[in-house]
Amino acid sequence: MVYGGKLSKACEPCRTRRAKCDFISPECSQCLRTKRKCHGYRDTEGLRISDMSAIVVKKFKARSDEDSTNVPLPASCPDSSESGGPLAISPVLTVPIDDRAFYYFRTTFVIGNARSFRYLESLYEYGDMDDHLSVSIRAVGLASLSKAARSTDLENQAMRSYVAALRMINLAITCSNVATNDTTLSAIMLLDQFEKIIPPTARTTQAWTNHLNGATALMKMRGRHQFETKAGLEIFIQMSSHLLVSCMQHTIALPEDYLTLRTYATNFLDTNDIAWRLSQVTVRYIGFRAAIKSGSLFDTDTIIATATDMDSEMVALMGEFPPEWMPSHYDFYIDYRLAEGLNMVRAGRIPLLDLIREQCEAAPVSSGSCQEFERYQCVQRVKDNVAEMAGLICACVPQLAGYFPFLGTGSSPGSPDSYTAPGSVKDMKLELSNEASAYSLLWPLFTVANSRACPEDVKTWIIGQLRILGKLLNSEQTLEIADGLARGEERDIWSVYALLGSICYSVTGA
């Protein structure tokens, strides 16, 4: 007898879509809402235990016959016909791949360290799992699982689910009622996440923002009603983070429609929260860069003063982090998200500091003048600040990358040499709980090493860490970026942010 496990009493459509069935007679609310035929509820007692002996024996014999044609028996193994004994049957319980993908996704993105899609838990609780959302979750789950298992077959399955989800979303957005649902915007964000895990073969800069452009239009269509639920508010925050990065990547101003929605959102958010205040500085920074690019802001002194003012805001912001958030002697943080948030602020300062240095070095001044001395002092302060941020970011690597089990005792922080990764990457394997945190290190480390003010020894150490993390995460993009840094190539940090994936920061602020 084979025990079938605890079975769901839900109707077949709800079981297939992993929706919460309310068991209302004669049809459940989910089927009524989606206009599907409800097949009724199962009698689980009759299905719980069944006699599978004949089926198991038949499957085993079929497998044995197939294997015997390909694999010869060892000399030490007696012929079954000679022994005359019955075959020993050891059935193995396996978890369906769809279930594994779903739980892998949930562990990584919903309840894991990243928690980028934590609001999906509430959508599932209320049964709001439309088909296009379910298929999108399956695509991302299979994609993540394919990288962890290094499986081409799983990656192909993920691609098929991605294509199916894309087709279903395109159909969903043609209906105004469905287009503005939480599930539709969530599905679009999931496909954006999929493209970070499995990038398209011929990926362009514009391709990264394709889904975001459509989602931005949907944000406008959703209007003020999207703030009425917790899930809707969290979706807005996540979408906002991606929109900010997209505008930084292309050096364009934020759309006025979005800024209007953002202002209204302050009625529902804690505007004293550090994450929100950081995003406010980011909004200013985006407009600042766009003004410089368009030529509407060109005066050197004004540019330096504005950048210095924003940098001062970020310094003040760091000073307001509670003492318990600060690292201990060994830079061990009480929560991974705190280290990730601090690294985001630290890395965010570096492009501002680089801009100040570039303006100081490019501006014509009289030799020996007071202004020349002031510019020299300004450049030195920038270099000191970059070195400080570099040290703090590097000190987070052991915890976020999961090196602690491999570190010797007695080492103290103070230089990158204090944090030596294992001698061989083969000795390491990232735990599931460390994978998202390791991803969160990639962009801050690159930003430090990409700065001309970065000390050379720190840059060399970071390149080594990026190569280790690239192999552990099976990320070809990370390895390519590390090689580019080694060759002395300079790249736009926001394009790299988009390439490496910004999902880890999507819940740190709007």
Is the domain of 229 the same as that of 276?
A: no
- Kindly report the CATH number assigned to the domain that includes residue 55: 4.10.240.10
Q: Is the pLDDT of residue 92 over 60?
A: no
Is the domain of 238 the same as that of 277?
A: no
Condensed to tens digits (0 to 9), the pLDDT of residues 372-389 reads 778 888 899 999 999 999
Is the domain of 431 the same as that of 484?
A: yes
> What is the per-residue pLDDT for 506?
43
Is the domain of 111 the same as that of 230?
A: yes
**Residue 74, in any domain of the structure:** no
Q: Which of 254, 286, 316 is the last residue of a domain?
A: 254
> What is the per-residue pLDDT for 405?
54
Residue 271 to residues 228, 268, 274, 317, Cα–Cα distance (Å): 17, 9, 8, 13
For the chain, what percent of residues have pLDDT higher than 70?
A: 73
Q: What is the mean pLDDT of residues 5-16?
A: 73
Of 504, 326, 332, 318, whose CA–CA distance to 419 is shortest? 332
Is the domain of 204 the same as that of 116?
A: yes
Q: Which of 184, 219, 254 is the last residue of a domain?
A: 254
Q: Is the pLDDT of residue 93 over 80?
A: no
Element (H, E) at 294: helix 274-294
> What is the per-residue pLDDT for 44?
64
Q: What is the mean pLDDT of residues 408-429?
A: 44
Q: Inter-axis angle of helices 370-394 and 456-472, to 10 degrees? A: 30
Tokens of 334: 């009480």
**Residue 80, in any domain of the structure:** no
Number of domains in the chain: 3
Range of the domain at 245: 96-254
**Residue 250, in any domain of the structure:** yes
Is the domain of 274 the same as that of 385?
A: yes
Sorting pLDDT into bands at 50, 70 and 90, what band is 214? low
Of 260, 99, 129, 127, whose CA–CA distance to 190 is shortest? 129
Widest Cα–Cα separation across the chain? 103
Most confident of 203-217, 260-274, 316-330: 260-274
Is the domain of 216 the same as that of 280?
A: no
Is the domain of 396 the same as that of 356?
A: yes
**Residue 439, in any domain of the structure:** yes
> What is the per-residue pLDDT for 269?
87
> What is the per-residue pLDDT for 185?
86
Lowest mean pLDDT among 35-49, 260-274, 289-303, 442-456: 35-49
For the chain, what percent of residues have pLDDT higher than 90?
A: 24
**Residue 263, in any domain of the structure:** no
Cα–Cα distance for residue pair 241/116, rounded to 1 Å:
11
Q: Which of 226, 254, 282 is the last residue of a domain?
A: 254
Cα–Cα distance for residue pair 259/43, rounded to 1 Å:
53
**Residue 180, in any domain of the structure:** yes
**Residue 122, in any domain of the structure:** yes
Q: What is the mean pLDDT of residues 145-172?
A: 91
Is the domain of 312 the same as that of 392?
A: yes
> What is the per-residue pLDDT for 164?
94
Is the domain of 170 the same as that of 308?
A: no
Element (H, E) at 446: helix 432-450
**Residue 42, in any domain of the structure:** yes
Of 396, 464, 462, whose CA–CA distance to 434 is shortest? 396
Is the domain of 455 the same as that of 357?
A: yes
Task: Please give the model's pTM, rounded to 2 decimal places.
Answer: 0.57
Is the domain of 238 the same as that of 293?
A: no
